[in-house]
Amino acid sequence: MKLTHIQLRHYKSLADVQVSLHPNVTVVVGPNAVGKSNFVDALRFLRDAVKDDLDHAIVSRGGLNRVRQNSYSRPFNFGISIETLQSFDDCADQSAAYSVDIASTTGGNFRVEQEDATCFHQVTDQDDDHRYKTSLVSNGFIRNKAGEVVEKDVSPAKPFHVGDVDQMALGMPTGDFSFGSLGGELHSYIRNWKFSALYPITLRQLTTPDNDVSLREDGSNWASVIRAAKRSAKGKKNLERIYEMMQVVLPDFREVTVSTVGGYLVPKFHFGTSPTDSRAFDPVQLSDGTLRIFGILLSLYQSPAPTLMVVEEPEQTVHPGVLSMLAEAFKEVSEVTQVIVTTHSPQLIDHFGPDNVRVVTMNGGLTEIAPIKHSQQDAVKLGLMGLGEFMAAEGLQPALP
């Protein structure tokens, strides 16, 4: 699946924002305090609600009132809708979608006001002549605020109820248990979104072995991820690509090894001009930039590949000259994993086209997100100015509604 469109309703500073995404890399730009982080957190909220549960997603953010948009009159319901392009091996691509709205109830509680999912899965059947035929079967549903669920394209319809009104139906077993879970493909797709917000201080801390070999958002289990990657052919290939990328900016870089000392994982960065001329460094001996570059690459080239990768401000602590390599990595990975990047860097956006960029602004305390205005797009396409030049000189301006 590829995410094509997002609509956010009354989520923090986003009153009603619709964003169309690039199929490969979307670069989100804008000054501080306009809502870029709120946009990213809305995606993270949906991932958390699907992967863990809705209560965890709300409570971990400080409760309902810290999530929904402020109002002086009446409380808002808040909601998130996504549209995706669902691809199949033997059938035509299909549009899939999911929408959920959350409402407040008495005592600071909440309920799911509505859910609507449209998705498909591919099945292969054998006809009477023993020929195989591939077709698509709907796995969508509609759910109302009473918790009643009806599967789409199922006849006769057999309504059933979720356990509680504050539980999401997405991912729950179907009424007749015939096709697994409700919206199963969407559930699997969303729960495998990944986010990268790495800080060097975290990467310098010693850790104990971790069975979770999926890289955490803060990178705290990175040593376990490297150790696990060395045990598989795919993991080794990904590490080799990371090493190649690192060597673009640090020619003497060779590899990272992980050993166990006193129950802790101890990573070492090896530098040298040849295998016989190698020097090992602890993470505490390396610069913030080196650690962050490696952490971002490890996020991008992890296995299994995420369905969506969101990287926030990769330019932090990184020399501007390195950003061309990171841009290349974003583009390469986006052939498999769709990428969203937030940035303040003119040097980074210079490596992308106008179609990749979305501009975030704030008007009257509300966040707005739009493509670049047409005059700036045309100037870039004609080679009159670069995106980075516009950003540094007058700022990238959003297209008018």
Which of 118-132, 163-177, 197-211, 327-341 has the highest average model confidence (pLDDT)?
327-341
Task: Report residue 127 as tokens.
Answer: 């006809």
Please state, in angstroms and rounded to a whole number, the distance separating the CA atoms of residues 60 and 72: 24
> Which pLDDT belongs to residue 139?
85
- Please name the amino acid found at residue 204: R
- State how far the alpha carbon of 253 is from the alpha carbons of 81, 250, 322, in Å: 44, 6, 15
**What are the CB-based long-range contacts (under 8 Å, 24+) for 158-165?**
162/112, 165/111, 165/112
The secondary element (H helix, E strand) that includes residue 223 is: helix 222-229
Over residues 331-350, the mean pLDDT reads: 96
Instruction: Name the percent of the chain lying above pLDDT 70.
Output: 96
Calculate the average pLDDT of the chain: 91
Per residue in 201-213, pLDDT tens? 999 999 999 888 8
Residue of 359, 342, 352 whose CA lies nearest to 17: 359
Per residue in 280-304, pLDDT tens? 999 999 999 999 999 999 999 999 9
- Residue 178: pLDDT above 70? no
- Residue 146: pLDDT above 70? yes
> Which pLDDT belongs to residue 177?
45
Sheet holding 14-20, edge to edge: 14-20, 2-11, 78-86, 94-104, 110-118, 141-143, 148-151, 160-161
Which of 77-86, 114-123, 167-176 has the highest average model confidence (pLDDT)?
77-86
Per residue in 218-251, pLDDT tens? 999 999 999 999 999 999 999 999 999 999 999 9
Residue of 248, 259, 260 whose CA lies nearest to 269: 259
